[in-house]
Chain A
């Protein structure tokens, strides 16, 4: 087990450097001078420009700049944006909003998705099964921004069950956006859980469990479910990362001041340090989530440890 974890940890290193370098290089390849963008219509004094370019290492070669950035990261320094505000401060302000949204969406998709998938999978071709299949297919087909507006108009504006926009009402303001954000993944979770449960129920070990007279509850709960959960857990782990980074549309519709909106406006105002900082943080979250999933995977399925 230790062996497996160490090997898996080593794999993280190239992924981290590869992904962060890629995003770093890309962001700084965006055409246009950020110093000009900072000054708006006015021309920038040469001395000011030289000072700013020096402060943000803009004249260094790409690799040197990246090296300095990673060096800063190692000490927890995400740099400052072109207006002199620490990027970590921006993230501290924005991340909680998105994290709350993503966690709520995650809970929603995990609980409802698993429940729907298991109910459908246990009684194949029943009414419940068809209901789950049809409704998940329909929801998958509706793009998230269409779904978002529909939900906002029907549930928030017409029925008044939820706040329409903003985060003034605490947790209540996050419910509807979380449902919208989590709905697509919910469908995947339900279908994945259903498919893998159906497959597990046909497996030899389930027949064996039945043959030795175990009660149905144990056959399903311990023998079938535990094994069929593996792909679902993989999906959920990876999805936590995409919920965090994919909230940009949902945040826009419900006007939540999260990292999606921050990144979006930072790209448009060429605030590269902010973009790089946020995306780097997301990459780290993503890598950690994947790592956790793989370790969990090894705990659930002994075959993986010994490969």
Chain B
């Protein structure tokens, strides 16, 4: 899934970035060349970071869980037996059973799909909007910049959670597409500002001027020279954002505004655990644990990426 592709771009594919405007022809054809672009430096740094490796393993695990839950459990989360209602965890059924007598481990495993899908879809959508708007604002400045700046100001003044509740009510439906949409429209301003300031800091670099002098058009400048060198902050924030979005989806579903009951989602499971907090604490514990671990993995990934991209911290 996209989660695994986003963080460490293949050094070979992006290595030309740093030398794009330099002498591309003078490179020896064979022999190991130590690439020194932003991306290859970051990748070298990441590979040695235990935080990155740990979070990558966790994310890989949850991604696998989302794509093929059958690998982790053979039980059907929808095949329930009321005689098992609220049975506590045991050696055979690690996570016990829920109120309807469904195997809770199977349910928790199947819950990964919703969280991962919404986390990645939302952040991909937000990043797309933010990269386009932020690049335009930073590159052209002037009217476009002012317009986008005022729009983000307005958005920042809106209370996010209450705003999301209202928009969900307007949309009517309460499925994955609606949730993704709402989380994108309340997530774009922060990322757009990040992108804009990154573009601003790159725009007047000498290699950009050089490329312009060689006759590169606006689009080529933005795409080939500015974008690759301005993406780092958005990627770092994006990783953390996946975690935030996953928690937000769970919160909305928990409030009854997100996914509705036949759906299997950690937020819904926790909402269902609420009335039985005392008699069946395992109903809260396991989905809460998985949810927190997923969020944790993305937050750690963001931290590791920031350390890798920000040379000041080395």
- Chain A: interface residue total (CB-CB under 8 A): 49
CB 8 Å contact bits of B162-176 with A (1 = contact, 0 = none): 110111011010000
CB 8 Å contact bits of B268-295 with A (1 = contact, 0 = none): 0010011001100100100010011101
- CB < 8 Å neighbour of A26 from B151, B154, B167: B167
The interface-forming segment of A69-77, A106-114, A245-253 is A245-253
* Contact of A146 with B154 at beta-carbon distance under 8 Å, contacts A26-B170, A137-B296, A140-B299 already known: no
Residue of A nearest to B153 (CB): A15
Chain B residues 224 to 244 lying within 8 A of chain A, measured CB to CB, are 243
Report whether B162 and A142 are in contact in the complex, using a CB–CB cutoff of 8 Å. Answer: no
* B251 interface hit (Cβ, 8 Å): yes
* Contact of A245 with B161 at beta-carbon distance under 8 Å, contacts A143-B250, A143-B251, A149-B284 already known: yes
Contact residues in A for B151 (Cβ distance below 8 Å): 18
Nearest CB in chain B: distance from A8 CB, A: 11
- CB < 8 Å neighbour of A19 from B154, B162, B254, B278: B154
Contact residues in A for B277 (Cβ distance below 8 Å): 149, 152-153, 157
* B44 interface hit (Cβ, 8 Å): no
Report whether B166 and A267 are in contact in the complex, using a CB–CB cutoff of 8 Å. Answer: yes
* A279 interface hit (Cβ, 8 Å): yes
- CB < 8 Å neighbour of A279 from B162, B172, B278, B299: B162
Contact residues in B for A30 (Cβ distance below 8 Å): 166, 169-170
Report whether B292 and A141 are in contact in the complex, using a CB–CB cutoff of 8 Å. Answer: yes
* Contact of A286 with B243 at beta-carbon distance under 8 Å, contacts A30-B166, A146-B284, A267-B165 already known: no
Besides the contacts A19-B154, A141-B296, what 17 more A-B pairs have beta carbons closer than 8 Å?
Answer: A14-B153, A18-B150, A138-B296, A140-B296, A141-B299, A143-B250, A145-B251, A146-B288, A157-B277, A157-B278, A245-B159, A245-B162, A249-B255, A282-B162, A283-B157, A283-B159, A286-B159
Could you list 13 A-B pairs, sorted by A, with CB under 8 Å?
Answer: A19-B155, A23-B166, A137-B300, A140-B295, A143-B247, A145-B251, A149-B273, A153-B284, A263-B162, A279-B163, A279-B166, A286-B157, A290-B156
Q: Which 7 A-B pairs have the closest CB atoms?
A: A245-B159, A141-B296, A18-B154, A146-B288, A19-B157, A143-B247, A141-B295
Please list the residues of chain B having a beta carbon within 8 angstroms of any beta carbon in chain A: 150-151, 153-163, 165-167, 169-170, 172, 243, 247, 250-251, 254-255, 270, 273-274, 277-278, 281, 284, 288, 291-293, 295-296, 299-300, 303, 312
